Chain A
């Protein structure tokens, strides 16, 4: 197995989870209603915990400890897709991002339960169940607000159109894509993207939203190779602020 390919693959999933987990945590205390405050905070906790478990696997492959890789890297060393680092904006954008991202993530982990890399397959079996609650949450709200009032429909529609090119960046291929597929670690981004499209359509058709034709859209890529928007570095600075005061502190 190409170990570099495997590491790159684990980093991108872990980084996605850490960065969106951090964004979700920014809703703590600011949710439009208490239930949503709790939901986004809980999903933040799940995502950061799941990223830690993936960083632990990387640690067994010789990478630095989870805290070090989470807090000490610069933006250009992160492999997350740009979608996850965008600021929360208003609730409509956060909801649509959550829907588009977690739909893909749930399918990814479902596929990973069959991974040839056993520690990942075992972890995926666990995480798959947890993500059911994330997609359940996203689907419920997209269906409700996507059919509610003219304002809620228009807001979700605008956010959907804005977020989709970024969401397509989830499937940006790494230089090792073929190694990952041939080693049986993952079936590949193309398979994931096609399953994702079917699932997104299935939910959106139950609403008054219109799904633009994603096949004619240009994906916004770069995140997987460390080329990020201007939003990532400030996020990292804030996230690691306390850790960096004393990196050797015992917690």
Chain B
């Protein structure tokens, strides 16, 4: 069997999407933190977006499934917090996909925010207007907050900065 490189594995992982945001691959989401190939063994390190994210087991089994479909039998996945995920781990391609999906991409979280300001006036993913208000820092999943656009008169969600 042909030996694969880590790059090949990353390409295959592009096929595995976030179960709750089907337009975003795990690679673009930034939860794959390391890939190593040794002969026929593939070791993957990944980290959850939120510690309590219930999707991590589903992501793991989909990774195994996709790799096995491509002839890679020996897959070892380690979930670790060694390189903790932040919303800045989402790729530019991923952020564009989020916006197209109708989810406002997170602003830079480089400096952990200290007050509510960063959550106010989030640009609306539909009209890009900033006349918006935060309705709830908690949304339908741990990684989303709920906002309202005064221009569109519609609610929207944001992928939270973390």
Query: Interface 1/0s, chain B 131-152, versus A by CB < 8 A?
Result: 0000111111010001000000
Cross-chain contact B81 with A129 (CB below 8 angstroms): no
Contact of B138 among A122, A128, A137 (CB under 8 A): A137
Contact of A39 among B84, B115, B138, B162 (CB under 8 A): B138
- What A residues does B86 contact at CB under 8 A? 129
Closest-CB distance, A50 to chain B (whole angstroms): 5
The answer to whether A132 has its CB under 8 Å from any CB of chain B is: yes
Q: CA separation between A36 and B22, bound complex, in Å? A: 28
Cross-chain contact A122 with B51 (CB below 8 angstroms): no
Q: CA separation between A41 and B116, bound complex, in Å? A: 20
Cross-chain contact B112 with A132 (CB below 8 angstroms): yes
Q: CA separation between A165 and B19, bound complex, in Å? A: 44
Interface size on A, residues (CB 8 A): 28
- Write the chain A residue with the least CB distance to B56: A49
- Write the chain B residue with the least CB distance to A110: B112
The answer to whether B85 has its CB under 8 Å from any CB of chain A is: yes
Report 8 cross-chain contacts, Cβ distance below 8 Å, ordered by A residue. Answer: A42-B138, A42-B139, A45-B142, A52-B51, A119-B81, A128-B112, A129-B109, A137-B138
Q: What 5 additional pairs, Cβ within 8 angstroms, besides A39-B137, A42-B138, A123-B81?
A: A39-B136, A48-B52, A50-B52, A126-B81, A137-B138
Q: B residues engaging A (CB < 8 A)?
A: 47, 50-54, 80-82, 84-86, 109, 112-113, 115-116, 135-140, 142, 146, 160, 162
